[in-house]
């Protein structure tokens, strides 16, 4: 199924979709500026928060200040990823299922899941990713970290797993619209809970930790990649990431196809 | 006075009906008020877990933080105001023009809606608060003075939060988009208002900045009083500050309203 020609075809498609999104975005320049300012303020707020915490405490559940900076960096990267491609597309899916516009996705001669997941890009959200990367690098430098090739590889794997997991999670959320048609403000619920990922998982009580690992897989998104980079992650983290990410992806894909069968199209 | 009361009652009934219709959405907004303080509580309790510091951060132990953030959950709910968020929308869609034609200041309509939402959601939230209280095991240090002063300071805080939020919302008459400004105002509440941390724990510059803003008087201070943390001196000076911020806010609103209304140009009429 995934041979070289289909791969290049899909990559070219992504490039075209990116170009179209960029054109759409440049039409609203003022909005762009306010959103950039909003992102910057968010980061400032997070760093102020950190200041307030570590002005009073030496460690946060065993995490030092710079380690938490790395964690916040990973959190910001995830915010960027969700804001740039995951949320805009899933929002469109939810809207399309209700309005029947999903027809336009289904008739395209490509995988519907692929097209539905990558057709909208909000490119300036990439700025969040950039800021996150800067925070990660600064945090590591201040830690004068023992960042070896092995930890880098571990980080790359865990953060990729986090990306897959958050995509799968959103796809499952979006797919539920096939049954509920209108899920009021589900996105707001997501962002609310997502904020819990700003702090290391160890902060929470064991049952909350369990909940945030296995039910709402927040741990995979921020804590695990950050742990990997600051050298606190072991083989167990790697193995869980490597199992849970593909499992979630397969589950989400299966659920999507199951949901599609319920879809009855526009004006049906 | 009587027509005003009749109008307020009518707004109140209409808002109640709307909220009953859109129960889900109304409740979701309210639940946000649970998650944030709960996360902050977990974080500060974790920070207060170092036996080398006597398992305390400043004057707060685990039970103290539990009490503080439980109360900040409740006080934060009671002092919620969201005009800064929605004003831009009402101006852009021309809704505000209709309200200006009515023989009543539109702020009254918002006030009625605000109270209606709080009553409606408090009924739903009260059991959740109770659950958090049982689970977090807060430590209170109360006497009669704190309870009486606390109730007074919450009432003042509700008024301060509402009036200052409305002043910020008036910016919509200039810019028509207030989402970013609303966001900034809300961010101030997190950092300087005491949602994220008790104000006294803020590092120097942020602490002084919190005295230059109305935020701590609409959340942090009443919370401190109600858990019995505030000293009698702090209570006296705090209530005085609150009175000042309220009077100042009302004056600024009167002035700001007169200036802003001249800037108002109807959109989508």
Q: Is B232 within the bounds of a domain?
A: yes
Residue B268 placed within a domain: no
Q: Rounded distance, CA A54 to CA B18, Å?
A: 45
Q: Look up the domain containing B159 and give its range.
A: 2-263
Angle between helices A65-81 and A29-54 (to 10 degrees): 160
Angle at A128 (CA atoms; ends B83, A182), nearest 5 degrees: 55
Give the one of A41, A56, A59 whose C-beta lies nearest to B184's C-beta.
A41
What is residue A184's predicted lDDT score, i.e. its pLDDT?
A: 57
Q: Which chain A residues contact residue B69 at CB under 8 A?
A: none
Residue position matching structure tokens 């105002």: B185
Please give the span between the terminal C-alpha atoms of chain B, in angstroms, as a whole number: 31
Q: Pick the residue with more confidence: B254 or B141?
A: B254
Write out pLDDT tens, residues B146-161: 999 999 999 999 999 9
> Which of B22, B31, B50 faces A58 most closely, judged by CB atoms?
B50
Q: Which of B28, B39, B202 sits opposite A195 (nearest CB)?
A: B39
| CB B69 within 8 Å of CB B44 | yes
The neighbouring-strand residues paired with B60 are B57
8 Å CB contact between A266 and A182: no
Is B209 part of any domain? Answer: yes
Give tens-digit pLDDT for B74-87: 999 999 998 888 88
For A227, the token pair is: 């742990």
Beta bridge partners of A63: A60
Quote the number of domains for chain B: 1
Q: Does the beta-carbon distance from A52 to B196 stay under 8 Å?
A: yes
Instruction: Mutation target for B interface from A57, A59, A72, A180: give the one with most B CBs within 10 A.
Output: A57
Does the structure show a pLDDT above 60 at A211? yes
pLDDT > 90? residue A97: no
A183: pLDDT strictly greater than 70: no
Distance CA A29, CA A17 (A): 20
Q: Mean pLDDT over residues A196-201, rounded?
A: 88
Q: What is chain A's mean pLDDT, rounded?
A: 87
Could you tell me if A232 and A147 are in contact, meaning their C-beta atoms sit under 8 angstroms apart? Answer: no
Q: With cut-offs at 50, 70 and 90, classify the pLDDT of residue B269.
A: very low
Q: What digits encode the pLDDT tens for the residues B97-141?
A: 888 888 888 999 999 999 998 988 888 889 989 999 998 889 988
Q: What is the pLDDT of residue A59?
A: 85
Query: Do the Cβ atoms of A52 and B202 come within 8 Å?
Result: yes
User: Residue A96 has what pLDDT?
Assistant: 87
> For residue B189, is it within any domain?
yes
ipTM above 0.85, yes or no: no
What is the number of CB-based contacts under 8 A between chain A and chain B?
88
* Chain A residues with at least one Cβ partner in B under 8 Å: 34, 37-38, 41-42, 45, 48-49, 51-53, 55-61, 184-185, 188-189, 192-193, 195-196, 198-199, 202-205, 208
B22, pLDDT greater than 50 = yes
């Amino acid at each position: 199924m995934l041979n070289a020609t289909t791969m290049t075809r899909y990559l070219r498609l992504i490039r075209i979709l990116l170009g179209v999104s960029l054109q759409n975005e440049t039409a609203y320049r003022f909005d762009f500026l306010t959103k950039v300012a909003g992102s910057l303020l968010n980061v400032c707020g997070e760093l102020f928060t950190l200041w307030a915490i570590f002005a009073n405490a030496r460690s946060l559940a065993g995490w030092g200040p710079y380690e938490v900076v790395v964690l916040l960096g990973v959190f910001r990267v995830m915010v960027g990823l969700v804001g740039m491609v995951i949320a805009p597309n899933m929002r469109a899916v939810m809207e399309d299922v209700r309005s029947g516009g999903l027809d336009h996705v289904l008739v395209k001669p490509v995988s519907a899941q692929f097209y539905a997941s990558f057709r909208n890009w909000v490119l300036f959200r990439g700025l969040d990713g950039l800021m996150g990367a800067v925070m990660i690098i600064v945090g590591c430098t201040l830690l004068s970290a023992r960042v070896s090739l092995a930890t880098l590889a571990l980080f790359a794997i865990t953060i990729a797993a986090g990306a897959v997991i958050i995509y799968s999670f959103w796809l499952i959320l979006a797919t539920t619209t096939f049954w509920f048609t209108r899920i009021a403000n589900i996105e707001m619920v997501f962002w609310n809970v997502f904020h819990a990922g700003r702090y290391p998982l160890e902060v929470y009580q064991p049952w909350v930790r369990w909940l945030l690992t296995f039910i709402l897989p927040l741990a995979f998104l921020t804590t695990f990649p950050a742990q990997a980079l600051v050298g606190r992650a072991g083989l167990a983290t790697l193995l869980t990431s490597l199992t849970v990410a593909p499992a979630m992806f397969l589950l989400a894909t299966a659920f999507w196809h199951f949901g599609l069968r319920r879809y009855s199209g526009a004006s049906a | 006075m009587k027509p005003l009361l009749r109008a307020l009652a009518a707004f109140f009934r209409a808002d109640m009906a709307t909220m009953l219709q859109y129960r889900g959405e109304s409740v979701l907004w309210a639940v946000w008020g649970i998650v944030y303080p709960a996360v902050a509580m977990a974080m500060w309790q974790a920070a207060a877990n170092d036996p080398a510091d006597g398992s305390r951060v400043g004057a707060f132990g685990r039970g103290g933080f539990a009490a503080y953030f439980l109360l900040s959950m409740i006080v934060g709910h009671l002092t919620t105001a969201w005009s800064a968020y929605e004003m831009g929308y009402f101006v852009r869609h021309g809704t505000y023009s209709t309200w200006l034609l009515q023989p009543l200041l539109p702020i009254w309509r918002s006030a009625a809606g605000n109270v209606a939402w709080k009553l409606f959601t408090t009924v739903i939230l009260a059991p959740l608060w109770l659950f958090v209280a049982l689970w977090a095991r807060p430590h209170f240090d109360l006497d009669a003075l704190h309870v009486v002063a606390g109730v007074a300071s919450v009432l003042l805080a509700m008024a301060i939060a509402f009036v200052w939020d409305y002043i910020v919302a008036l910016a919509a008459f200039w810019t028509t988009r207030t989402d970013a400004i609303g966001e900034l105002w809300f961010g101030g509440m997190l950092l300087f208002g005491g949602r994220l941390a008790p104000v006294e724990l803020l590092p120097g510059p942020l602490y002084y900045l919190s005295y230059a803003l109305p935020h701590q008087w609409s959340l942090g201070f009443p919370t401190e009083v109600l858990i019995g943390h505030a000293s009698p001196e702090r209570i006296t000076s705090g209530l005085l500050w609150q009175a000042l911020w309220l009077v100042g806010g009302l004056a600024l609103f009167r002035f700001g309203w007169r200036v802003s209304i001249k800037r108002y140009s109807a959109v989508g009429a």
